[in-house]
């Protein structure tokens, strides 16, 4: 982001606020200073503000949503004054209020107030605002919106975090822990590795089964076979 101040006969008291992306001009807004009153002109009103505290930024007027130049001004002013993004903020750290007022389509006023927390008889303090400056009245001049392709590229968000793995968790002792679901298995038909000893036992059992088939199945069959032999003699 950049802010450039210039002064010429054609554009007196000129301020250009813009942003860069990937070494290219992303957008820019040209404002003319019509009225200015410095902080020192407000006396000791601004002595309570501390460097590094985040201001409360307020935009007054629907034109900040409908007029393209003022919508751009809102985006630029937020980027300029909000500071570093934070998740939480202490109420005591809000010591000033920055207010932007859209007077009409091409005029903008900027005011800044110091915040004082006073006793109210309850747990919630009473808030008192005192103008601390600077007080600026701008006239909106030229502006440039970001190109569509460049805006699309600048608004890309990286994917943060790892992709969630199904049935995988973590343990403080074992580290990565997985869960496996197995179907019911029949141990009788389960194919296992065969050892030489089991192969020898199978060969012997097959040989015994073959010999048993050759033998008579019943005692009657054996006697009949024996009787038939004596008649033949």
113-164: pLDDT as tens digits: 998 888 888 888 888 889 998 999 999 999 999 999 999 999 988 777 777 7
On the question of pLDDT at 72 being above 90, the answer is yes
| Separation CA 144–CA 25 (nearest Å) | 9
pLDDT at residue 143 in the model: 96
Closest CA to 98 of 84, 115, 86: 115
**Domain spans in the chain, listed from the N-terminal domain onward:** 2-154
Q: Is the pLDDT of residue 20 over 80?
A: yes
Q: Average of pLDDT values for 160-174? A: 76
Tell whether the model's pLDDT for residue 200 goes beyond 50. Answer: yes
> How far apart, in whole angstroms, are the C-alpha atoms of residue 28 and residue 19?
7
**What is the rounded distance in angstroms from the CA atom of residue 233 to the CA atom of residue 194?**
53
Q: How confident is the model at residue 215 (pLDDT cuts 50, 70, 90)?
A: low
**Could you tell me how far CA 140 lies from the centroid of its own chain?**
35
pTM summary value: 0.65
How confident is the model at residue 209, as a pLDDT?
79
Sequence-distant (6+) residues with CB within 8 A of 89 are 54
State the pLDDT at residue 232: 43
Lowest mean pLDDT among 3-12, 185-194, 205-214: 185-194
Q: Which residue has the higher pLDDT, 196 or 171?
A: 171
Residue 18 contacts residue 137 (beta carbons within 8 Å): no
The residue among 23, 5, 21 whose CA lies nearest residue 13 is 5
Q: What is the pLDDT of residues 79-108, one digit of tens each?
A: 998 878 788 877 777 888 999 999 999 999
């Amino acid at each position: 982001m950049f802010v450039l101040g210039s002064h010429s006969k054609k554009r007196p008291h000129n301020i250009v606020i813009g942003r860069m992306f990937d070494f290219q001009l992303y957008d820019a807004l040209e404002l003319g200073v019509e009225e200015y009153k410095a902080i020192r002109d407000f006396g000791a009103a601004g002595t309570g503000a501390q460097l590094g505290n985040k201001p409360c930024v307020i935009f007054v007027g629907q034109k900040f949503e409908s007029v393209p130049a003022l919508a751009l001004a809102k985006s630029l002013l937020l980027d300029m004054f909000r500071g570093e993004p934070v998740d939480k903020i202490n109420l005591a750290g809000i010591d000033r209020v920055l207010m932007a007022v859209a007077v009409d389509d091409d005029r903008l006023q900027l005011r800044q107030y110091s915040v004082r927390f006073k006793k109210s008889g309850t747990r919630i303090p009473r808030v008192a605002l005192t103008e601390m400056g600077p007080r600026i009245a701008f006239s909106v001049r030229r502006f440039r919106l970001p190109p569509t392709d460049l805006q699309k590229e600048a608004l890309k968000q990286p994917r943060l975090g790892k992709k969630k793995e199904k049935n995988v968790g973590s343990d403080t002792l074992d580290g990565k822990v997985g869960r496996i679901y197995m179907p019911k298995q029949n141990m009788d038909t389960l194919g296992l590795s065969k050892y030489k000893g089991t192969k020898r036992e199978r060969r012997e059992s097959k040989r015994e089964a073959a010999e048993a088939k050759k033998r008579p199945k019943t005692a009657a069959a054996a006697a009949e076979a024996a009787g038939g032999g004596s008649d033949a003699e």
